[in-house]
Amino acid sequence: MPLDDLLQKVWDGGRITPEEARQLYQLPLHELGALADRRRQLAKARAYGGRGAEIVTYIIDRNINYTNVCNVYCKFCAFYRTEKAPDAYVLSMEELDRKIEETLALGGTQILLQGGHHPGLPKQWYLDMLHHIHSRFPQINIHGFSPPEFIHFQKVFDEPVEQILKDFRAAGLGSIPGGGAEILVDRVRRRIAPLKATADEWLHVMETAHQLGLCSTATMMFGHVETLEDRIEHWERLRQLQDRSLARAGTRRATGPDATSGGYFTAFIGWTFQPDNTRLRLPRVGGVEYLRTQALARIYLDNFENVQSSWVTQGPEVGQMALQFGANDLGSIMIEENVVRQAGASFRMTVAEMHRLIRDLGYEPRQRDNWYRLVN
């Protein structure tokens, strides 16, 4: 397609092909950013009406890693420990309670509950944990357990993923984070995490969750051994699954943990590989490549309403710039974050700082929940 025709197609909101994505990737950064910002405006106008393009959202939640014991030994991870490591842990219910109480005191609405692939914890331990949190803190959404964790549970519990999801949901699980996607191309996954869930397994967990009415997020960790073609294949597989999930949900989108109309991906979150203290010795990807990739993701993922800025890996300044490269959400204030910090990124943010970053660009900051409903 001639470049002028392609640019008009993107401006008008049309769906692009993989070949067109490769063509757009070559644009000057500011031109690609302008196109991504246009797509952001179109998406948010649909979501929030006429004022949607002026709203930038964020969430107050806490990332709780219930255990750091893991037996998949990903080359890009500096967080995992073996069962016999002196600093291996499994959080007690009392420790969980304290962390959630602190989250509520800061206005939090959600916990992000993830852990390593612990080989020794039985299913009942997880059900007891979910039931304990949900019964003690019913106002908190439990956004928990990435797809690779569910594949791990399937093997350890010797049960189908669908049954595990049903039982976890009944115990209090409200939604599923998109962790563990990395790059949804098995050639790449075999190089960086050969013992982790395959691309098909990751997608199967998400589609099953959506069929059960659970919403989820989608992620991508890039800037390591993958190519541009791998990134595009990753987006293509997400886009296809989102098409199916939205068709199933129709206009009756899931609006909370009790929704039964069908789940879907609420947002896309991309971040760059952080190399410190990992076995994958590669140079760190900078802000320009991050912004270029996020902008292209916003254009390609035309059926995703929300794109989240990754200030946790890029820092507040680049995270703010990302709001002009397709992102409409700053994510969490990150009361606690352990995995990325172990790999060398230790940025922090307060609500006041988020408000300043958003307002400096002329947008209106608004707190939201996991389903992107505005709070207060």
User: In order of start, what are the domains of the chain with their CATH numbers?
Assistant: 18-367 (3.20.20.70)
Distance CA 179, CA 196 (A): 12
Looking at the DSSP bridge assignments, the partners of residue 366 are 57
**Average model confidence (pLDDT) across the chain:** 88
Contacts of 185 (CB under 8 A, 6+ apart): 199, 226, 230, 233, 234
Question: Which residue in 55, 132, 127, 142 sits closest to 93, CA to CA?
Answer: 132
pLDDT tens per residue, range 39-76: 999 998 877 666 666 899 999 999 999 887 876 655 55
Annotated binding site for [4Fe-4S] cluster: 70, 74, 77
Residue 150 near residue 160 (C-beta atoms within 8 A): no
Question: Which residue ranges make up the annotated binding site?
Answer: 70, 74, 76-77, 146, 182, 310, 332
**368 Rama sector, left if φ>0, alpha if ψ -120 to 50, beta otherwise:** beta
Average pLDDT over residues 251-276: 73
CA 174 from centre of chain: 15
Question: Of the ranges 53-57, 207-211, 247-251, which is most confident?
Answer: 207-211
Query: Mean pLDDT over residues 280-300, rounded?
Result: 87
Q: Which of the two residues, 367 and 280, has the higher pLDDT score?
A: 367
**Is 334 strand, coil or helix?**
coil
* DSSP secondary structure code for residue 114 in this structure: E
Of residues 281, 276, 306, the one with CA closest to residue 294: 306
Band the pLDDT of 340: cuts 50, 70, 90: very low
| pLDDT of 86 | 67
Long-range contacts of 106-109 (CB under 8 A, 24+ apart): 106/60, 106/333, 106/335, 107/60, 107/351, 107/367, 108/60, 108/61, 108/62, 108/140, 108/335, 109/59, 109/60, 109/61, 109/139, 109/140, 109/141, 109/367, 109/369, 109/370, 109/375
Q: In whole angstroms, what is the distance from residue 219 CA to residue 40 CA?
A: 18
pLDDT score of 368 more than 70: yes
C-beta atoms surrounding 237 within 10 Å: 18
134-167 pLDDT per residue, tens: 999 999 999 999 999 999 999 999 999 999 999 9
- pLDDT score of 335 more than 80: no
Q: What contacts 360, CB < 8 A, 6 or more positions away? A: 320
69 and 116 Cβ atoms separated by less than 8 Å: yes
The mean pLDDT of 256-266, rounded to a whole number, is: 71
Ranges 80-89, 120-129, 275-284: which has the least confidence: 275-284
pLDDT band at 196 (very low <50, low <70, confident <90, very high): confident
- What is the structure's pLDDT at 344? 38
Residues comprising the binding site for S-adenosyl-L-methionine?
76, 182
Predicted TM-score of the model (pTM): 0.90
Residue 339 has pLDDT above 70, yes or no: no
Which comes out higher in pLDDT, residue 88 or 139?
139
pLDDT at residue 366 greater than cutoff 70 = yes
User: pLDDT band for position 279 (50/70/90)?
Assistant: low
Burial (CB < 10 A; 0-12, 13-18, 19+), residue 329, is: buried
* Residues making up the binding site for (3R)-3-methyl-D-ornithine: 146, 310, 332
Secondary structure letter of residue 113 according to DSSP: E
The percent of residues in the chain predicted with pLDDT above 70, rounded, is 85
pLDDT band of residue 2 (cuts 50, 70, 90) is very high
Residue 282 pLDDT > 70: no
Higher pLDDT residue, 55 or 84?
55
Amino acid at 1: M
